[in-house]
Structure 1
């Protein structure tokens, strides 16, 4: 029988790895989102992230272990990417994990078997490193047939893993592939661990067995854990006989696309110039595609900043390659086509990903222009042979997204060099700040009182979908972040019940309020808000009644029914609004967040421009049509995959269990949702949009009301109309015409005032010209004229210039019609030749009005915040200009 063909493509390697470990009793677990549940992580950066609570003993697994292919993002060394064949911002990590069920001998044997029997890697090319004190690992590898000269001992820096200064830790062992002497550094001491490319580390086996304490002691963990990781790009490069991660099938395909678009050549042996830019675009476009598909949005902070920086860095390197216009969406489509069969979220959110990339690119083009202007200003003061400050170059890099090599190239064309040492120092400082933030995060963030409770008491049973009242037993009391057995009268505490009709805040729906009653009817506890803790325990937050409460007491839990009714109607309104937006604006619309309480609803969604009045009217009409149709609101519980295949919409950021609730409003809407809802759409009564606004790049927000909230809104709005009509002494229906007439009258009056102030017959200008003084080569007019907007002040200057017999300059100021200060400094050509510089003067006097501005010597302007400083600004201008005569 012929030997099986070894996997060659990335998809084949991925499938064979997962199948290998599944056949050995491990549970295959899908990749978690790049949005980690772990609050200590910005982004998922390792396969073990989703198993942290298993390692800590907080959760257990029936199988002997798990296997996964985890999508990861690491950007600590983003500026190195493209400069070598190893670093990537996005990568897939094949992993095998066990929490006491797999021995160290088994783990090593499986790794060796998969490498030699499945991947068909030649044993003589495999080298193994161990922690220098780990004799056990040494004996295991020797027993598997590894020769002594293929085992290297390394210190704790290389082969001892730790979560941090304290916490889980243990020795590790790495497997390297020898590419041959041609890839080496030529040193006689070259061995695994060397910085050259000869020995490629592709598999790391971590044997976590200790719990390091603050005093340095390392007691054993309750059970020995196993965490192995193998980068799929590295393995693909090895089995495909490629020289680096970028030569594997996935990334090489993206690089080929870059070559096609740019027309530039790619050299796999070059890590500079065009080849480096092509690598960066390939890597960053893949990372951005996956981040967008997981619901991360470009922003100026957190993971959104990471995404924005990756996109902008790719765009800038596209410019370096001579690519004009948007191009990243083509790379996204290639990523989706190649990797979508394994990561269904890529296909599911294809249109959204492509739209976001196109929008972000277009938005960045203006930023590029601003960065170019900043660089031009910085270079303008330098001569050929000078050096640009490294921190200026870093500001371009960090603020405007300019890669340092682009700054170097532009400066080089002017004969100007860059202080690269200063740039590197600024970059190092930034990296150290980023790494310090990572180091400062301790695993102890998981050790809260709620995690302990979640392990010791059963999840709260929520019975509030169909019941507004339930008899329950107190199973835990939290007082000042401590679990206590009892709590005294009138104290603020958190109560956990074994069952509850109270809805805990989640999914954008606010939690219930109400009362916990004693069996005799007395108030035991007033519930002011309700929250879910650790996703399974419902916390009733509030104040104890007149008597002591203890764990084990029986209470009658009653929610505020009228408040719940208003909340659930508003929640159903968000579903109808979502469906209407998708129908009117397009299928790219996706929910980015929501908030529902008893008064109104707020809905954030993906869209790339402000909604027009006609679009909002169409959305509102569509929702109200569905309300008037009295559609049934039905809830079904089903498997997650069944729900998605039925067309139910799911939220990007939501973490769903295997069984989910699907809420349908007739055929109008179908979404995964755990919230409470109306029974029919007609219970919403009426729906009204209050506002539409931007809450970030490509994200819009609608605020609206329904039911009782809509009734209150219309009552208030009609009362305002009646009050306005009464003041105008007209009928309500005649208010618009009366307001239009008043506007016309006001414009006419304003025009008369403006002509009186700045026109050719203006007394104010006559007085100003009459008070002009000799400033040495030109007449200087300094005047305050209030009630004029900036363009009117410029008109006053035009009048002064026309009516002056010789060279003239003016400094004019005043409070505008909106009560904000404005300054104008202007001079004719002769005054400028005589030394008048309006731009320089404005910069000096603008602080007097708490403002700033600029312009040219012949015309400059400033606005500000302090009208009280106008006279001081004019006085300063007069003094400075006359002292220079």
Structure 2
């Protein structure tokens, strides 16, 4: 039976469910896997271990109001990615039997509850009694001692007590058996379990002790039990923790592998259902599980790479790790491009929608455990297709250029691929360096990383110069246009291809720089911006509120112009930018390649603008007229006539109508129509005063332009978005995903402005709002006190800076205002009680000792104590006070913050002897630091000190000073 058809007693789902069930039965709370994209932890590219979400518990910083604060035992299967940063297995995937960029980590945790004995007992019982693993194939390790730490003989003895033979219990060093979270923080010895995959010889197992922790593919670590009992201090010393914790992690794929009696994780039903789907798509030969030289055609390696990568991509995108050029987004893009290249090279399949065809099978396989991939399935597929299509546009050409660069090096007798060429493959064709390295290895070549870094730095410096020069955009003026009209060999640009989505080939008709038309880029001074006119273009020139495209003009491997801006002048489309390398001349044939990843969100935003315009009229009425717009990659802006601000209820209705229209997934139609006829279409929207071409382009969402023209007066067209527009649009409104209004404001009398986002940007603001809502909920649940006041102050500032839905922001403001009011009310109640507390301390003293003339007293600290002391002094010194003849000095100190507050009142009896408030306060200030205030000769004074450690000395000095006067 083939690998793909095998059935297993221990199927992957049963293995996972058994683990979770075992620990649930033993009092562990199931905690769903945290996001694989740790948006709240900037120190991590991806979640790479099961313990990441419990960091706050280990570090003692857990929010006391959260569920985690009460957590004693936990179990889960954590999604992990190791494809970038410190933990990066990307280069090894496909080459061996056990490396993955995405994997699951099964784990059980104890937070100050059970410790070594129970952990080791659970481990052995689950493996040998529940899963039925042969104990003879298991080896365990313990910490041998180092850095002044004793060996973990307790763990060793516990393993022996359970029945593990002594020659299967092995010591391990600091590297293998002492786990640390980082340079600082909780840490402790660990005890690993290893499994011998080898079959017995003549019915006997060979001792595998010498192969443990030696990276032998047949003797693998499957489970690690970490006993967190120390804290690594900043000075690298270790201190014992007050609470001892357990953190365990078992590789799910490895466990399935051994239970299914395989030697490769990839031979299990974690991967074989994906292999089956890949075979259906590609018609390739069946997966045979071969490695290295045995895998002569590379097909098995490609199966492993593609299956692994589709898992990583799907889970990363589902959790918000969208492909881009920065950080974790770049890692996702690298993984996709690496996988796409494997698919094309080894399976011979076209890319553009390859990965998305596998995603439904992955969702069926894992969606019950991780419902987020089921919920986000459509988005995952759409993003994968978008990225694949973008890469497909340059993959063929990039591979040709790689061969050219490789052959050039070989001719020179070198196996080194030059750094400049490696960088150009990335910069021009989107080949990540690790993909080029892989291709080089296939050719028996190597890459000099230092040279690549130097080429990248050189490009970065050149880019800085470009941006500086870009401040003065090269433009055509009336004289230049006059000259062009007389140049018969320079026609007006045919830009009809701007509505397509493919690269085209064009001919350079003119090169413009320094008020002159040149014949070659060689005449342009190095690093300076210039313009290019083509016979035809697929670039969109800035017009109608839509921003320009960027991209490149190039002859593969010979020359490239980076296009930074595109403007149209009387029918001439001028592409402005910088020469990156080589030389181009008038008459050169170039590939015209706009940046699809920039235009894609522009398309979303432009069609979103049409939908928004429709919704505005539906809610506010037909008197709404467009007054201007901006369509950029990151947002859309729409200005319109309306007399007053839009209330939240109406804003919500506008969003609701827009969203409903988008989710209909209506087709977007466009057609050039005679202007007079187009104006007759019922409900058509046009900008008042705008001059339109004849014929004019009509864009309709949901109804074909032919149907509109067949019955131009039909009242049904009032319920359709129909506009005159020359911009680029989506094919179906579903591509827009969401429309979220960020801002509604007035910009002039009778003119309002809406700023909104669509697509992934809309998802981002929704995620940001969701994260902020969790903070608000936490603040609402916090008990009144200094922490709540401090958090509210920070949150008020953060709320003002938040870029989220205007409606949601308004709701947050209402909730936040209620929190602030509650804090103010609580502060008033607290202040009143605190004032009474301090004053009662004074009055109670004199009630017990009516003859006393003075009181020097330290009272307990509170956030309001300074005010309470002032109020008590004011009360004592008041004209109608029964204590007016008493002299009082009050203190309070907060050693943690180093603060002291103090205040005093000197009665007339002591004033007559030369005492006053400021003099008395000065004696204290000399000791506790800080300042004290009060008019010379005044009976009262108050101060703040900076040396809280000396408050008792201050109290004593104040007492001595007043006692020097006659009572």
Residue 422 of structure 1 is aligned with which of 422, 426, 448?
Answer: 448
- Match of 1:323? 348
User: Are the aligned partners of 1:130 and 1:174 in contact in 2 as well (CA < 8 Å)?
Assistant: yes
- Partners of 2:405 and 2:755 lie apart in 1 by 45
Which residue of structure 1 lines up, in the alignment, with residue 682 of structure 2? Answer: none
Query: Where do residues 819-858 of structure 1 align in structure 2 (5 Å cutoff)?
Result: none
Query: 2:274 and 2:437 mapped to 1: Cα distance?
Result: 26
In the alignment, structure 1 residue 582 sits paired with structure 2 residue 663: yes
- 1:285 partnered with 2:287: no
Name the residue aligned to 1:120: 132
Per the alignment, do residues 155 and 294 of structure 1 end up closer, same or farther by CA in structure 2, a change over 3 Å counting? same
Larger radius of gyration: 2
Identify if the C-alpha distance between structure 1 residues 410 and 39 changes in structure 2 by more than 3 Å, giving closer, same or farther.
closer
**Offset from partner CA, 1:404-439 (integer Å, 9 cap, x none):** 788887998xxxx65426369979999xxxxxxxxx
> Which residue of 367, 391, 401 corresponds with 2:431?
401
The question of whether the paired residues in 2 share the 8 Å contact of 1:390 and 1:419 is answered with: yes
CA distance in 2, matches of 1:88, 1:191: 22
Q: 1:302-701 alignment to 2 at 5 Å?
A: 302-326=327-351, 327-379=354-406, 381-382=408-409, 384=411, 386-392=413-419, 394-395=422-423, 400-401=430-431, 418-420=444-446, 422=448, 570=651, 573-583=654-664, 584=666, 585-587=732-734, 589-591=736-738, 595-596=742-743, 598=745, 600-606=753-759, 654-655=770-771, 675-676=809-810
2:165 equivalent to 1:147:
yes
1:267 matched to 2:420? The reply is no
Q: Which residue of 29, 32, 44 maps to 1:30?
A: 32
Partner of 1:69: 77
Alignment deviations for residues 34-57 of structure 1 (CA, whole Å, 9 cap, x no partner): 221323222111111111111112
Contact 1:167 1:213 in 2 (8 A): yes
Deviation at 1:379, TM superposition (A): 4.4
Instruction: State the alpha-carbon separation in 2 of the partners of residues 164 and 146 from structure 1.
Output: 32
Q: Which residue of 1 aligns with 2:100?
A: 88
1:637 aligned partner: none
CA RMSD of aligned residues (A): 4.1
**Alpha-carbon distance in structure 1 between the residues aligned to 2:233 and 2:95:** 39
TM-score (norm 2): 0.46
Distance 1:85 1:403, change over 3 A: farther
The equivalent of 2:54 in structure 1 is: 51
Q: Structure 1 residues 189, 250: CA separation in 2 closer, same or farther (over 3 Å shift)? A: closer
Q: 2:117 aligns with which of 105, 109, 112?
A: 105
Inter-CA distance 677–283: structure 2 relative to 1 (3 Å threshold): same
Q: Distance in 2 between matches of 1:181 and 1:590?
A: 53
Q: State the distance in 2 between where 1:245 and 1:86 align.
A: 6
Aligned ranges 1:799-810 → 2 under 5 Å: none
Partner Cα distance (1:6, 1:101) in 2: 36
Using the alignment, how far apart are the partners of 1:303 and 1:252 within structure 2?
Answer: 28
Shift, 1:229, TM fit: 0.6
Query: C-alpha distance in 2, partners of 1:405/1:303?
Result: 17
The alignment of Structure 1 onto Structure 2 pairs a total of residues equal to: 491
Residue 528 of structure 1: aligned partner: none
Structure 2 CA distance, aligned partners of 1:126 and 1:592?
A: 56
Q: CA deviation at 1:216?
A: 2.7
For 1:568 and 1:425, locate their aligned partners in 2 and report how far apart those are by CA, in whole Å: 59
Q: Which residue of 2 aligns with 1:626?
A: none
Deviation, 1:227, is 0.7
Deviations 1:599-624 (A, max 9, x none): 5554333389xxxxxxxxxxxxxxxx
CA distance in 1, matches of 2:95, 2:25: 39
Q: 1:601 to 1:374 in 2, by over 3 A?
A: farther
Name the structure 2 match of 1:209. 229
Name the CA shift for 1:242/1:408 in 2 (closer, same or farther; >3 Å): closer
Tell me the residue number matched to 2:629.
none
Q: Is the 8 A contact 1:69 1:92 kept in 2?
A: yes
**CA displacement 1:784-825 (0-9 Å, x = unmatched):** xxxxxxxxxxxxxxxxxxxxxxxxxxxxxxxxxxxxxxxxxx
Give the secondary-structure state (helix, strand or coil) at the position aligned to 2:210: coil
- In structure 2, the partner of 1:296 is 321
| Residues 224/594 of structure 1: CA separation in 2 closer, same or farther (3 Å cut) | farther
Match of 2:179 among 149, 161, 165: 161
In 1, distance between residues paired with 2:449 and 2:302?
20
Distance in 2 (CA, whole Å) between partners of 1:125 and 1:672 is 61
Deviations 1:488-522 (A, max 9, x none): xxxxxxxxxxxxxxxxxxxxxxxxxxxxxxxxxxx
Deviation at 1:27, TM superposition (A): 0.7
1: distance between equivalents of 2:450 and 2:171? 34
CA distance in 2, matches of 1:106, 1:563: 68
Does the residue aligned with 1:115 lie in a helix, a strand or coil?
Answer: helix
Residues 178-197 of structure 1 correspond to what in structure 2 (within 5 A)?
Answer: 178-180=196-198, 190-197=210-217
Shift of 1:674: 5.4
Is contact 2:82–2:100 with CA below 8 Å preserved after alignment?
yes
Matched residues in 1 for 2:219 and 2:231: separation?
A: 32
Q: Deviations over 1:39-87 (max 9, x none)?
A: 3222111111111111112235434311111111111131111111111
Alignment check: 8 A CA contact 1:295 1:652 kept = no
The answer as to whether partners of 1:660 and 1:672 remain within 8 angstroms in 2 is no
Query: For the residues of structure 2 that align with 1:425 and 1:138, how far apart are their CA atoms?
Result: 50
Per-residue CA deviation, residues 610-651 of structure 1 (Å, 9 max, x unaligned), is xxxxxxxxxxxxxxxxxxxxxxxxxxxxxxxxxxxxxxx985
Question: Which residue of 2 is the match for residue 558 of structure 1?
Answer: none
Question: Structure 2: any 5+ residue segments left out of the alignment?
Answer: 1-6, 63-67, 145-150, 457-642, 667-731, 747-752, 779-804, 813-967
Kept in 2, the 8 Å contact 1:571–1:601? The answer is no
> Could you say if the C-alpha distance between residues 23 and 657 of structure 1 is closer, same or farther in structure 2, counting changes exceeding 3 Å?
farther
State the partner residue of 1:8. 10
1:593–1:131: structure 2 CA closer, same or farther, 3 Å change rule?
A: farther
Question: Partners of 1:21 and 1:167 in 2: how far apart?
Answer: 27
For residues 841-872 of structure 1, give each alpha carbon's deviation from its aligned partner in whole angstroms, at most 9, with x where no partner exists: xxxxxxxxxxxxxxxxxxxxxxxxxxxxxxxx
Gaps of 5+ in 1: 431-561, 609-648, 662-670, 679-885
Assess, with a 3 A threshold, how the Cα gap between structure 1 residues 30 and 657 changes in structure 2: closer, same or farther. Answer: farther
Q: Please tell me whether the aligned partners of residues 408 and 418 of structure 1 are also in contact (alpha carbons under 8 angstroms).
A: no
The answer on whether the counterparts of 2:741 and 2:806 sit within 8 Å (CA) in structure 1 is no
Q: Distance in 1 between matches of 2:209 and 2:453?
A: 32
Q: Do 1:81 and 1:87's aligned partners in 2 also have CA atoms closer than 8 Å?
A: yes
**Within 2, Cα distance between the matches of 1:90 and 1:408?**
20
- In the alignment, which of 20, 23, 26 is matched to residue 21 of structure 1? 23
CA pair 50-56 structure 1, distance change in 2 beyond 3 A? same
Partner Cα distance (1:53, 1:563) in 2: 48
